[in-house]
Amino acid sequence: MTPAIAPPLLAIALEDVEKRYPNGTLANSGVSFTVAAGEIHALVGENGAGKSTVMKMLYGLERPTAGILRIHGRPVDFRHPGDAIAAGVGLVAQHLNLVPSLTVAENVVLGHEPRRAGGRLDRAAAAARVRALVEQSGLAVDPAATVASLPVGVRQRVEILKVLHRGARTLLLDEPTAVLTPPETATLFATLRQLAAAGRTILVITHKLDEVKALAGGVTVLCQGRVTGSARMAELDEGALSHLMVGGDLPPPPPRRTARTRPAPRVVARGLGYVDDDGAIRLRDVGFDVAPGEILGIAGVEGNGQDVLARLLSGAAIPGAGDARLDGRVFTGLSPRAVRAQGVAVVTEDRLHDGAAPTLSILDNLLATRYAHPPLSQRGLIDRGTARRWAQAVIDGFGVRAAGPHQPMGALSGGNMQKLILAREIADAPAFLVASQPTRGVDIAAASALHSRLAALRDQGAAILLISADLDELLALSDRIAVLYRGRIVARFAAGAVDAQTLGLHMTGLGPSVDGGDHDAVA
Amino acid sequence: MTPSREGARIALAVGAALALGFAVMACVSDHPWAAFRALLTGPLPSIERAADGRMVVHRLVRFGAWLQDATTLTLVGLAIAIPFRARQFSLGADGQLFMGALAAAAVSLGLGDTPTALPLAFLAAAAAGAGWGLVAGLLKTRFEANEIVTTLMLNVVAVQVYRLVVGRVLNDPTAGFITTPPLPEAATLAPLIARTTVTAMVLVAPAAVAAALFLLRRTTLGYEIDLAGANPWFAVRAGVPVARATALAFALSGAFAGLAGFHVSNALLKRLPVDLTPGIGLEGIVVALLARGRVGALPLAALGYAYLRVGAQAMERATDVPREVVLVIQALIILFVVSDRLAPLALGLMRRVRTNLGGRAA
């Protein structure tokens, strides 16, 4: 750019952008907003509101069907991400795309490697470059570390470094805090502020009110593909902001359990242990009780054994030691089908991987746990009429935004998908529900609806194990909270007696050990 | 994609392949138009007015060949398409067909001229094919043996078993070549159209498709197969017996290939020669591909593909164009049909050209 031309003030500008998918879905319509250079701008709205589509268009993954995108004042027509990268736009995806077996430096330069003669990777140059980048950006990462050995928060920093290495001046982040602990979130925010102060522009998708408050200089709210509000943060108070984000007032959080006496436990787990195929101990001597009408929360940084615990309790893996009983009967070590037959239901952690079949219809997804029994099937024949009516009732009853029972599951937003999954799992009034990350990546309104359902199930007398990385959720819903760290329960609390800060310390292994053995110390 | 769009897309693909094929013909033939006509009209009967003024239908044999070829192709197409619903690439239709034919012939010869010979031979063929398919299914679900490898190997075994049995056990020493004795009349199917081999099997094939559709759409097993194919990890977590459903998908597929074997033995040849040519089972892959894995579209795909095969024979016989050219066209059709994004691209291009022209005119 020649010095004669003043640098344009707006890093990102959308003018009446429309995106209509080939199947007719209107994902965005008349979307206009601007982000000033050096600003941190939050893009908020319910799931399915079209936020991710905006990101995809800005990164060249989708092309708008009408309207104009401008980057630094210049209209752009990105046909693929390469165009966006060339224009200085970088995307930090929600699901991190790193090669675990490579080092940080190798990951950062991947695709834009410094080469030696013969096309071989110049490792020294790569490490030097990344080190320079680390210093320049203030993102604390060891370039020589293997990615597999890093916690999620650090991996995300690597992802950001990767984007910066490609010369991005405009960073797009899609729900960056979804996988982070509170301390990691605080670090990320500091990093983002630093990047913005250095003149980079940041557009971030989030669901959380307090994150918008803490981070953003401006906010744009999308609802059903349209902009319903856009404001500078300075002009908003908290009430106005939450009203803007939710489009109304939030329902109050579900009331806590009211029972004073604690009945005999319904679920009793003792000494659960698991060693994976590589010989690593993933779970060690985990024990807990859950009473009927009680929610036991499991806190922990991802990868500390929560996934294994959920798999053991749902029949997806067989414990190497210990067992768990429901109403006195052992239900671990059985097949998933047998576990379910005993009254256990499961909301899996990764809904797209093993919680749903995205290519099949809503109806087929709802059937998965119930198709084998009347009234949905008789003597091997599925009653499609009954099934369809039930699916429609679920869609209506859970406020799912969908065209009908035959819409593919994958076309739904995360929040709507999660509502259907929970509906399926609680349809048979399970005695014990294992819910892993039930509101991950779900908007505020949907999360609140899911929480009410969990509370209602609890009030019916079910025992619930709530595994979540969202501490606010754990604190709001749980009666008691146990902290998993490196496959062990390192602390237990009554929910009223602990705050997020204390939990965070225990989650990172810094808290004093509170847990003596395999019994519940705190009632 | 809606069925009508999908139909337009496939028509476009076939048209493009034929156009390219014609270009190839023009290179190798002195009379490309005649060859092209022979290819496109070969399977159709011709109706002519004879000298005495009556209408006479000619070339019924080829018309019959078209229908019976489509029958076989529909059944082996089912044998490919059903495991595909469970995301399994079975190449085992050939072996299952040989086992089905062998079982049908053995039962027919064993029972002789009795009224039960026909239905029992029919069932034996389905059972033998299903059993052979189940072997591949169990190898996959019990031992995680890759189904592409096992089905191909099982094909080899089945063909050799077939040759052994036909040559040693069921051999007819009076025939002058190695073959089974002719099957008893009561066990074979009479032609529906004179001078052809078109039998009631031409109705069994669509009935088999309807049965398969019912099974896949309405039964719990069909649902399990679909779920296992769409997302096996999810299916397992939901408590669906994925291994059982997968193995049964193979067995089911084998039953239909076995029926194709019954068609070959008790309807077409009415005795089994030792040198029955393998390979028709692999043509089932082409049919399943043309139908885009949709069970309901199999009869149409089989009719279309059989038409081309019979047309190719007609062309080879009547003109100077070698059969290889037709193989090229067949390959082109498959390439065009499976290139998902090609037709939308072409349609989009056409639309843009049209809008541009329109814009200029206005």
Residue A522, both tokens: 């705190």
Mean pLDDT of chain B: 88
pLDDT of B361 strictly over 60: no
ipTM reported for the complex, 2 dp: 0.82
Chain B residue with CA closest to A345: the answer is B238
Domains and CATH numbers, chain B: 60-315 (1.10.3470)
Q: Report residue A156 CA to chain centroid gap.
A: 14
Question: How many Cβ atoms from other residues are within 10 Å of residue A143's Cβ?
Answer: 22
B342 has a pLDDT exceeding 70: no
Mean pLDDT of B79-97: 94
- Say what the pLDDT of residue A2 is: 45
Which residues in chain A touch residue B237, judged by CB atoms under 8 angstroms apart? 314, 316, 336, 346, 348, 354-355
Burial (0-12, 13-18, 19+ Cβ within 10 Å), B2: exposed
Indicate the length of chain B as a whole number. 362
Evaluated on CA atoms A318, A324, A330, A335, the torsion sign reads negative
Residue-wise pLDDT tens digits, B226-281 = 999 999 999 999 999 999 999 999 999 999 999 999 999 999 999 999 999 998 88
Binning pLDDT at 50, 70 and 90, where does residue A522 land? very low
Best of A360, A364, A379, A434 to disrupt the B interface (most B CBs within 10 Å) is A360
Instruction: Give the residue with greater pLDDT, A212 vs B56.
Output: A212
pTM for this one?
A: 0.77
Fold of A264-343+429-523: Rossmann fold (3.40.50)
Contacts A357 to B, Cβ<8 Å: 227, 230-231, 234-235
**Each residue's pLDDT tens digit, B267-298:** 999 999 999 999 888 889 889 988 888 899 99
pLDDT tens digits, one per residue of B181-229:
999 999 999 888 877 888 999 999 999 999 999 999 999 999 999 999 9
Distance from CA of B289 to the nearest CA of A (A): 19
Q: How near does any CA of chain A get to the CA of B184, in Å? A: 39
Q: Do A368 and B230 touch (CB under 8 A)?
A: no
Query: What's the average model confidence in pLDDT over A23-32?
Result: 84
Cα–Cα distances in Å, from A223 out to A28, A30, A77, A229, B78?
9, 12, 25, 9, 46
Confidence at A519, pLDDT banded by 50, 70, 90? very low
Inter-chain contact B219–A384, Cβ cutoff 8 Å? no
Give the mean model confidence (pLDDT) for residues A444-462.
Answer: 91
Q: Under an 8 A CB cutoff, do B231 and A316 touch?
A: no
Q: For residue B232, what is the nearest residue in chain A, using CA coordinates?
A: A354
Map chain B to HEC letters.
Answer: CCHHHHHHHHHHHHHHHHHHHHHHHHHHCCCHHHHHHHHHHCCCCEEEECCCCCEEEECHHHHHHHHHHHHHHHHHHHHHHHHHHCCCCCCCHHHHHHHHHHHHHHHHHHHCCCCCHHHHHHHHHHHHHHHHHHHHHHHHHHHCCCHHHHHHHHHHHHHHHHHHHHHHHCCCCCCCCCECCCCCHHHCCCCCCCCCCCCCHHHHHHHHHHHHHHHHHHEHHHHHHHHHHHCHHHHHHCCCCHHHHHHHHHHHHHHHHHHHHHHHHHHHHCCCECCCCCCHHHHHHHHHHHCCCCHHHHHHHHHHHHHHHHHHHHHHHHCCCCHHHHHHHHHHHHHHHHCCCHHHHHHHHHHHHHHHHHHHHC
Measured between beta carbons, the chain B residues lying within 8 angstroms of A356 are 231, 234
Instruction: Check pLDDT > 70 for residue A257.
Output: no
pLDDT in tens, B312-321: 888 888 887 8
Minimum Cα–Cα distance from A355: chain B residue = B234
Give the pLDDT of residue B355.
Answer: 64
Rounded to an integer, the average pLDDT of A177-191 is 79
pLDDT at A268: 96
Reported as a pLDDT band with limits 50, 70 and 90, residue A514 is low
Sorting pLDDT into bands at 50, 70 and 90, what band is B359?
A: very low
| pLDDT above 50 for A517 | no
| pLDDT above 70 for B360 | no
- Indicate yes or no: CB of A367 within 8 angstroms of CB of B218: no
Identify which of B219, B231, B236 has the shortest CB distance to residue A381.
B219
Residue A228's H or E segment, with its range, is: strand A226-232
**Residues of B (208-247) whose Cβ lies below 8 Å from A:** 217-221, 223, 226-227, 230-231, 233-241
pLDDT at B292: 82
The confidence band for B346, taking pLDDT boundaries of 50, 70 and 90, is low
Helical (H) or strand (E) element with A218 = strand A218-223
Residue A250: pLDDT band with limits 50, 70, 90: low
Mean pLDDT of chain A: 86
Model confidence pLDDT, tens digit, residues A45-94: 766 678 888 999 999 999 999 999 999 989 999 998 889 999 999 998 76
Give the tens place of pLDDT for each residue, A153-178: 788 888 888 988 888 899 999 888 87
Handedness of CA B169, B174, B176, B181 (dihedral sign): negative
- The residue-averaged pLDDT of B147-157 equals 95
Q: What is the pLDDT of residues A92-141, one digit of tens each?
A: 876 678 888 899 999 998 888 888 877 788 888 888 888 888 888 777 88
* Nearest Cα to Cα of residue A489 among A519, A458, A457: A519
Q: Is the model's pLDDT at B82 over the cut of 90?
A: yes
- The reply to whether residue B237 touches residue A335, judged by beta carbons under 8 angstroms, is no
Considering CB atoms only, which of B218, B226, B236 is closest to A360? B226
CB pairs under 8 A between A and B: 71
CATH number for the domain running over A11-88+169-188+197-240: 3.40.50.300
A186 to chain B, closest Cα gap in Å: 35
**Chain B residues with CB-CB distance to A369 below 8 A:** 238-239
Instruction: Show me where the domains of chain A are located.
Output: 11-88+169-188+197-240, 95-168, 264-343+429-523, 355-427
